[in-house]
Amino acid sequence: MGALHRLGSSPGSTRLLGAAVEDFLAELTNPNTARAYGNVLRALAGELGADMPVASLDDEATVTRVATWFASRWGDASAATVNARLDALRSASAWWRDQGWISGDPVRRIRRRARTPERTLALSKAQIEALLGDKSLTLRERTMWRLLYETAARAGEVLSLDVADLDLANRRAKVRRKGGAADIIVWRTSTARLLPRLLAGRRSGPVFLTERRARVALPPIDLDPDSGCARLSYRRAAELFEAATATRGGGPWTLHQLRHSALTPQPKTARTRPLCSRSLGTRRWCRWPVTPECPPTAWLAGSSSATQRPVAGEAGVARRNYGLR
């Protein structure tokens, strides 16, 4: 939201709700916010009447009516949807108070809804290995999904990779995390075998490309100089993943589920420790599975190996990148 300015004095008893809604929306500089907030506020004006004085929002009867309308319209929606709609109403109400048009809070009877953690997103290791081992998939898809799973990186971070960002010898790459922080991701043997085959000697351009040449003008950074193919978009990557998993159990799966599965321990194959969340690009504590390729000594805090000087090879790279000494 941009800077908000107090409009000329206009008593709330004469300012109409419809006009007050448009006045508030005109102050928003982000078009996406203005569109989302506009849908909610115009629906409110449609329910109460655009020609109703905005000062009527202070009436107890109107407060009750707003709460009843909100519950009937979004009562069955998800917590994220409910909270987003409520944010729109609260922002407008605060601005109207700043203008002196209302004095109370017309949405005081509406409460934010707590977001319940989703415990069913993670896929089993068997499901993921069955997918990643499917030889009918293209080399690009198998490489991309294996890289996403082994690094637990966000899809946007992986799709933004250029060939120059890769350190194939040490199985790692530089990425730009959510929020703009620079970081390192590391991968394991399966990805290390697939990446050189995918690149096929390419030394520049995006790592993951579209099947055909770009049909519109794009920035040079998003094009492969030799083939003319463009960087694969997140939308297309999501479509490919969902199409490939549509007939699998619980499908179609999402790229978010793939990442969530990488951050969730599997029964009987995981040891637990709170890893450095910064290195995974997430603010929540997570657990990391222990496999033959990622032994406990590379991950467990407090172990004798974790306190020794860094060693060469994959375990040493992993220990340094994940904040262990």
Does 292 score more than 50 pLDDT?
no
Residue with tokens 């990643």: 132
- pTM for the model stands at 0.52
Decide if pLDDT at 72 tops 90: yes
Look at residue 110 in the predicted model and tell me its pLDDT. Answer: 95
Residue 60 has pLDDT above 50, yes or no: yes
The torsion angle over the Cα atoms of residues 258, 263, 266 and 272, rounded to 10 degrees, is 180
Q: Is the pLDDT of residue 123 over 90?
A: no
CA distance 213 to 221: 14
Is it the case that residue 48 has pLDDT exceeding 50? yes
The amino acid sitting at 319 is R
Please name the residues in contact with 182: beta carbons below 8 A apart, sequence gap of 6 or more: 174, 175, 176
* Gap between the Cα atoms of 150 and 191, Å rounded: 8
Q: What is the pLDDT of residue 42?
A: 96
pLDDT at 78: 84
At CA 305, angle to CA 304 and CA 306, rounded to 5?
95
Q: How much of the chain exceeds pLDDT 70, in percent?
A: 75
The per-residue pLDDT for 267 is 53
